[in-house]
Amino acid sequence: MNKIVVTRRIPEEALGLLKKNGEVFVWDRDEEPIPHEVLLAEVKEAAGLFTNVGDRIDKELIDHAPKLKVISTMAVGYDNINVMEAASRGISVGHTPGVLTETTADLTFALLMAAARRVAEGSIYVRQGQWKSWGPMLLTGQDVYGATIGIIGMGRIGEGVARRAAGFSMNVLYHNRSRRPEIEENLNAAYCSLEELLKKSDFVVLLAPGSADTRHMIGKAEFELMKRNAVFVNASRGTNVDETALYTALENGDIWAAGLDVFEEEPVSMENPLLSLPNVTVLPHIGSATIATRTKMAVMAAQNLIAGLAGEELPFQVKLNKQ
Ligand code: GLV
């Protein structure tokens, strides 16, 4: 029987499917990721690897897995996987696009609104007993309704955010590798250069996939172009942003606030200076985290893995030219 390694506890529906198709090892300590040495040892005999965004699937790991046929990540992003190395060994790689689009767009918009209206700060203020009276200027924020939003990375999730923005009568700008005429038409979104988007937007929302090409795509020069009232939201990958430059921009008042679901290093270190700033709203990479969506993602990833074990094309296979 094929050995399948699962790096975290996953919903029963998905686990059940895997158990019918192999001998399954699950690392099931919820708060603790599988130690890299344990993963290296477990993949030695594995034909299938069910993974997630927190695992580093690098050349060393693939070298330790001579029997591996398929790597299936329970995520849309696969920047944590050395896809080229996998391809060179004939190992298929699967991911879970589409199913998490609306859930992640919801969270991105929630983060935007929370950062604009100081929701997390307000909650701490109340819980810490600081609320002594109603104040005319207490926790004043930025208006979302009618403001200009600039979306960097107009994929499925970007489109979902644009649809939500239309409901708030926002003026939608976007920047993407390629133009999306249907979005321009249907959502009244205007394509513009990155520079123009940064200069004009009240909300700058980053949704570009993580890759070597997008690493630090938003840094000092980009923050300097943004408005002083700008709220910056990152729900893509932490590595897309130069966090030192972000800290400086927030600290100097070059931009007004940030909402971050992702960090350069995850879990974020408590020493990360961004955590010391009240105008930063932070979340622990939970873009797609609803019960329903995570269940669908797990089942989809299990189906990818099972197809890979059978030597078939995966229903949602990562294509190399997409990298
Ligand atoms: C989460 O970040 C994902 O890529 O699905």
- Determine whether the shortest distance from the Cβ of 288 to ligand 1 is under 6 A: yes
- Determine whether the shortest distance from the Cβ of 76 to ligand 1 is under 6 A: yes
Q: What is the pLDDT of residues 275-308, one digit of tens each?
A: 999 999 999 999 999 999 999 999 999 999 999 9
Residues 219 and 264 sit within 8 Å (Cβ to Cβ): no
Where residue 25 falls (left for φ over 0; alpha for ψ -120 to 50; beta otherwise) is beta
Mutate which of 8, 51, 52, 53 to test ligand 1's pocket (most atoms within 8 Å of Cβ)?
53
Q: What is the pLDDT of residues 106-149, one digit of tens each?
A: 999 999 999 999 999 999 999 999 999 999 999 999 999 999 99
Q: What is the pLDDT of residues 61-93, one digit of tens each?
A: 999 999 999 999 999 999 999 999 999 999 999
Residue 253: partners with Cβ closer than 8 Å, 6 or more residues away? 228
Q: Which of 237, 243, 264, 294 is catalytic?
A: 237
Which pLDDT score, from 0 to 100, does residue 147 have?
98
Confidence of residue 30 (pLDDT cuts 50, 70, 90): confident
CA 151 – ligand 1 centroid, Å = 18
Please tell me whether the overall predicted TM-score, pTM, comes out greater than 0.85 for this model. Answer: yes
Strand-strand pairing, 171-175 and 148-152: parallel
Q: What is the pLDDT of residues 161-205, one digit of tens each?
A: 999 999 999 999 999 999 999 999 999 999 999 999 999 999 999
Measured CA to CA, the distance from residue 94 to residue 90 in angstroms comes to 13
Alpha carbon 241 to chain centroid distance? 13
Confidence of residue 321 (pLDDT cuts 50, 70, 90): low
Catalytic annotation on 237?
yes
Confidence of residue 320 (pLDDT cuts 50, 70, 90): confident
Which pLDDT score, from 0 to 100, does residue 31 have?
83
**Planar angle of CA 182, 183, 186, nearest 5 degrees:** 80
Measured CA to CA, the distance from residue 151 to residue 207 in angstroms comes to 7
**Ligand 1 atom 1: the closest Cα is on which residue?**
75
Q: Rounded to the nearest 10 degrees, what angle do helices 119-127 and 101-117 cross at? A: 60
Catalytic annotation on 216?
no
Write the CA distances from 11 to 8, 18, 120, 160, 295, integer angstroms. 10, 11, 30, 26, 6
Catalytic annotation on 56?
no
Percent pLDDT > 70 in the chain is 99
**CA of 297, closest atom in ligand 1:** 5
Measured CA to CA, the distance from residue 42 to residue 64 in angstroms comes to 9
**CA of 74, closest atom in ligand 1:** 5
Mean pLDDT of the chain: 97
**Planar angle of CA 104, 158, 275, nearest 5 degrees:** 60
Structure tokens at 246: 């972000």
